[in-house]
Amino acid sequence: MRPTSKTLRIAAGLIFATASAGSAAQAASDAARDAERTLRAGDSALQVSVIGVDDARRRAQLQDWLAEVAQAQLTAFGRYPLHSARVRIEQVAREAARDDESPVPWGQTLRRGDTAVLLFVRDDATPAELRADWTAIHELSHLFHPYMGRDGRWLSEGLASYYQNVLRARAGLLTPERAWELLDAGFGRGRRESSGAPLVELSRTHEGTMRVYWAGAAFWLQADVALRRDHATSLDAVLSKYSDCCLSGTGETAPAKFIAELDRLSGTKVFSSNYARLVQSRAFPPLDAVYRELGIMRRGDALAFDEGAESAALRRSIMRGAAEPAPAR
């Protein structure tokens, strides 16, 4: 879920307007155009609905935006992680989102009955603003993992926070350098949370949001680097295997069970060793060693990048991805 300073309270009435009498057939046809699209990649599909938007041009804009975001998701392993999931897009007036000026002030992933990603878009958000926003790919990235309850919130929000930058870089929505800068800025926000509470406690109580999200992202970055450096695999590849064998859009999986399964699928202890160290930690995890591996250095307030062959190759492999994505259509 997108973290916000206040909860945006919107009644999500997902109901299509009925066509007026006298031209019902034509009106229904016009309203349906771009109100529903299905994006397919292999045997997986996203069913995308634009709700309550009468303007045909705006419906097409919103559908095109979501298709580009979905294409970024495919850079992980060439298909959507679930066989089928829904995306619902609704508009809200700027006044309703006055505590959040972002183009997509609220997003949520629901797992009741089936799996649905809900995105609430500001009605005056331009296509360029939507394209630059991170909320949609963050929410779509929640489809890579099972629901893990409150104890696993740091894992789930961390994975979405990691991938919201990595996948956009792979799809050309960000430069790789900008993606690293955004990750680094997030880690900085996480470090500033100073309650001293265990990470799992913050996860349960929905407190310390920045440490929950960005310590979680640090966990997945560390795992991805270790897998690529030492085991000739990647986080993408392990999650692809998990998608094949074990991923369900609904139900709940204990965090430790998810971690154990990732260890089994990777043939390593990369996930469990980091999990055991971090779950009860009271401070943000150190990233100096990972930054050295990646050739990322700090120059004042900016980042610099070592172009030495080994570190540059590792860094680029993360932002490039290994899979050739299947086209969304």
Q: Has residue 240 been placed in a domain?
A: yes
Residue 56 CB partners (closer than 8 Å, separation 6+): 30, 33, 34
Same domain, 126 and 236: no
Structure-token pair, residue 99: 């505590």
Q: Has residue 130 been placed in a domain?
A: yes
Q: Has residue 62 been placed in a domain?
A: yes
Q: Has residue 329 been placed in a domain?
A: no
pLDDT of res. 308: 85
Predicted TM-score (pTM) above 0.85: yes
Residue 193 backbone dihedrals phi, psi, to 5 degrees: -75, 120
User: 176-191 vs 309-320: helix axis angle to the nearest 10?
Assistant: 90
How many domains in the chain?
Answer: 2
HEC per residue, 228-255: HHHCCCCHHHHHHHHHHHCCCCCCCCCH
Same domain, 202 and 133: no
Same domain, 78 and 152: no
- Please identify, among 144, 173, 192, the residue that sits at the C-terminal boundary of a domain: 144
Same domain, 154 and 132: no
Same domain, 73 and 157: no
Question: Which residue segment(s) compose the domain that 38 sits in?
Answer: 1-144
- Please identify, among 115, 144, 173, the residue that sits at the C-terminal boundary of a domain: 144
Which CATH number does the domain housing residue 276 bear? Answer: 1.10.390
Residue 168 to residue 171: CA distance in whole angstroms: 5
Amino acid, res. 105: P
Same domain, 140 and 245: no
pLDDT of res. 114: 87
- Please identify, among 144, 175, 205, the residue that sits at the C-terminal boundary of a domain: 144
Structure-token pair, residue 44: 């997986």
Task: Quickly tell me which residue has 């590849």 as its tokens.
Answer: 237
CA 16 to each of CA 35, 125, 141, 147, 171: distance values in angstroms, whole numbers, following the listed order: 9, 21, 27, 29, 32
Q: Has residue 74 been placed in a domain?
A: yes
Structure-token pair, residue 233: 């695999």
Other C-beta atoms lying within 10 Å of the C-beta of residue 195: 11
Same domain, 128 and 163: no
pLDDT of res. 3: 65
Other C-beta atoms lying within 10 Å of the C-beta of residue 60: 15
Q: Has residue 97 been placed in a domain?
A: yes
Same domain, 172 and 284: yes
Residue 49 CB partners (closer than 8 Å, separation 6+): 14, 35, 36, 86, 87, 88, 89
Q: Has residue 284 been placed in a domain?
A: yes
pLDDT in tens, the chain (329 residues): 766 543 333 333 332 233 334 455 554 555 567 899 999 999 999 999 999 999 999 999 999 999 999 999 999 999 999 999 999 999 999 877 666 789 999 999 999 888 999 999 999 999 999 999 999 999 999 999 999 999 999 999 999 999 999 999 999 999 999 999 999 999 999 999 999 999 999 999 999 999 999 999 999 999 999 999 999 999 999 999 999 999 988 999 999 999 999 999 999 999 999 999 999 999 999 999 999 999 999 998 899 999 987 899 999 999 986 544 434 44
Same domain, 133 and 103: yes
Q: Has residue 81 been placed in a domain?
A: yes
pLDDT of res. 11: 32
Same domain, 79 and 169: no
Same domain, 317 and 173: yes
Same domain, 167 and 265: yes
